[in-house]
Chains A and B, each alone.
Chain A
């Protein structure tokens, strides 16, 4: 982005707007391409050209069933879950004015897992499928409200992270307890899924129950962009600029709870996407919290889809959990951010 010094403010404004649009367009194009790549990566090799038509329609050929029932829902979930994780990270960071805020780090994912685990293993989800995302959303909502009451918008990074550790440990322990209490002998080993997250063998049932809720959550968060921009100048200034802080906070809490809660309930707690993506994209949108939202949604979708393709390519035998890969990338990144913001911590 090179802008001539002689340009007027309006021209500069339009130029940077074009830059941002170009970034979004580029990410969309790459995402579109990766969508097809994702459909053709798996343990069974499917001929790209002869089977493209089988993406839709009711054929029950091997290729059609694998594409339609296994890879398509998986790809759709990767895109939507990545988008919700990215945008909710950006929104939380904007609200708390804190680059370390992320659904997994501050315990929202863990708490959503607990809600989903209770809904699933109690059998509620078998009777009423929407109980699964509702459980996840309830868990996420309780965690956001608790953190917000405890740490607040203007609290230090340290308070927030410590509160997050407390929420994560407590919800992790309760999740383990719930799984141990389950009469099903397989339940206890499934804590890995809920803590790390995976998209293996998901189906359209999961798309149906989770994606609509995630979309509502994402729209709720995108509607916050002006408010988040103004909030960069602090609460008083934002309010003096006409931002209704209570409404903004409510929208973000509801948006994060809906999107993260629904995502976790079908794929477990995939970590660090919401931390890495906004941080990488912030310079490209001039650090504006509002503009970061949509960019982070696309970036999150890209990152998670790439990670999921990588998991499928790397795995022989039983699949590596997707969350293991995102955490392997994300945790050192988190450490780097902590070191970078250490001065603020102390």
Chain B
């Protein structure tokens, strides 16, 4: 809608101001009416459309993007996961806003002018809202830093906050460049999430590890983007650094209990082996936003410790 309006407007304007094309007076009059229409009626609407006033998020990562990019007053609602400090980096900020559980009915009542959704979450609500011609933008899961940048800027454009986004990305680049270590030791790191899942070669996690000076164990072992990795295989591979997803002692699940397995403790708990383990909170890199610079910093620091111990 918005794009076609813009196009029509610019074509009409060019036509109207052109000297090379000989236009009949009638057409000129018609054009003027058009121009008046565009300037006084469509233009204010377009300006509004360019900077949405009522944004609703249906996805945890969309929450993060909104919280970092949008004007606070234009956020209407975030997901109920946004206030979970385990998963949401900006949980404290998110607490200011009403949360939704992703049902179409809830969203309908909020009457949003922009809905940000993920490609896998709240699907029934997304398809319903689309059918009702709400403006729904679906975010994908970026598999690289490049894709992350593109998506970040795209969302920033939607929100009319391009400058802010560029500033944040520059800051991210600066922090990553600063954190990067110069050593040439070939160190391998493995990421181990709840339920024995790991991030594979086509994931932003691998790029974060590479920036911090590590090779991702699953790059070699055929895990594509996200997959299961048996505990025994992990031990056999003997990675130099074991990175565990956040394990909160107060929240109980078998999935996370796996990260507490005595075999992991015994293998990466003893300093004489020269192997280390670190817990990177899921909230830091579960969503691809500029805050993953912080994950790079933590990992680079860990790398220095490992190298210095050898």
Chain A residues in contact with chain B, CB under 8 A? 42-44, 60, 62, 65-66, 69-70, 120-123, 125-126, 182-187, 189-190, 193, 201, 203-205, 317-319
Contacts and interface: CB of A to CB of B under 8 A. Distances in A.
B252 A70 contact: no
A317 B252 contact: no
Interface-central residue, A122, A201, A318, by most chain B CB under 10 Å: A201
A70 B231 CA distance: 9
B: interface residue count bin = 20 to 34
A184 B252 contact: yes
Contacts of A184: 251-253, 256
Interface string B190-227: 00001110000000000000000000000000000001
Given A60-B267, A65-B263, A318-B196, A125 B252 contact: yes
A134 to B, nearest CB: 16
Contact of B232 (A44, A120, A121): A44
A317 B238 CA distance: 19
Given A43-B230, A65-B266, A69-B262, A123 B235 contact: no
B261 interface: yes
A186 B270 contact: no
Interface-central residue, A120, A125, A318, by most chain B CB under 10 Å: A318
Nearest to B267: A65
Contacts of A317: 227-228
Given A123-B250, A184-B251, A66 B232 contact: yes
Interface-central residue, A66, A122, A184, by most chain B CB under 10 Å: A184
A190 B253 contact: yes
A122 B251 CA distance: 9
A317 B263 CA distance: 19
Interface-central residue, B195, B236, B250, by most chain A CB under 10 Å: B236
Contact of A201 (B227, B236, B249, B261): B261
B-side interface mostly: helix
Contact of A186 (B228, B235, B250, B254): B254
Given A69-B263, A203-B263, A126 B252 contact: yes
Nearest to B258: A201
A186 B232 contact: no
A33 B231 CA distance: 25
6 contacts: A62-B236, A65-B263, A70-B231, A123-B252, A187-B253, A190-B253
A203 B261 contact: yes
A62 B267 CA distance: 8
A201 B259 CA distance: 10
B109 interface: no
Contacts of A66: 232, 235-236, 263
In the A-B complex, the 8 residue pairs with the closest CB atoms: A69-B263, A186-B255, A186-B253, A43-B230, A184-B253, A318-B228, A44-B232, A44-B236
A249 B104 CA distance: 56
Given A65-B266, A187-B253, A318-B196, 9 more contacts: A42-B230, A43-B233, A44-B236, A69-B261, A121-B252, A126-B249, A185-B87, A186-B255, A203-B261
A317 B255 CA distance: 16
Contacts of B263: 65-66, 69-70, 203
Contacts of B249: 126
Contacts of A70: 231-232, 235, 261, 263
A220 B59 CA distance: 54
Contacts of B170: none
Contacts of B233: 43-44
Given A43-B230, A65-B263, A70-B231, A120 B252 contact: yes
A219 to B, nearest CB: 28
B266 A69 contact: yes
A60 B270 CA distance: 9
Contacts of A121: 252-253
Nearest to B238: A62
A122 B233 CA distance: 32
Contact of B254 (A122, A126, A183, A190): A190
Contacts of A203: 261-263
Contacts of A126: 249, 252
A42 B270 CA distance: 24
A187 B194 CA distance: 11
B273 interface: yes
Contacts of B255: 186, 189-190
Contacts of A125: 252
A70 B263 CA distance: 7
A60 B261 contact: no
A16 to B, nearest CB: 46
Nearest to A121: B252
A186 B256 contact: yes
Given A65-B267, A69-B261, A70-B263, A44 B235 contact: yes
A69 B263 CA distance: 5
Nearest to B272: A60
Contact of A205 (B81, B253, B254, B262): B262
A92 to B, nearest CB: 28
Given A186-B194, A190-B254, A201-B196, A43 B232 contact: yes
A309 to B, nearest CB: 15
Interface string B80-94: 010000010000000
Contacts of B236: 44, 62, 66
A318 to B, nearest CB: 4
Contact of A183 (B194, B196, B251, B267): B251
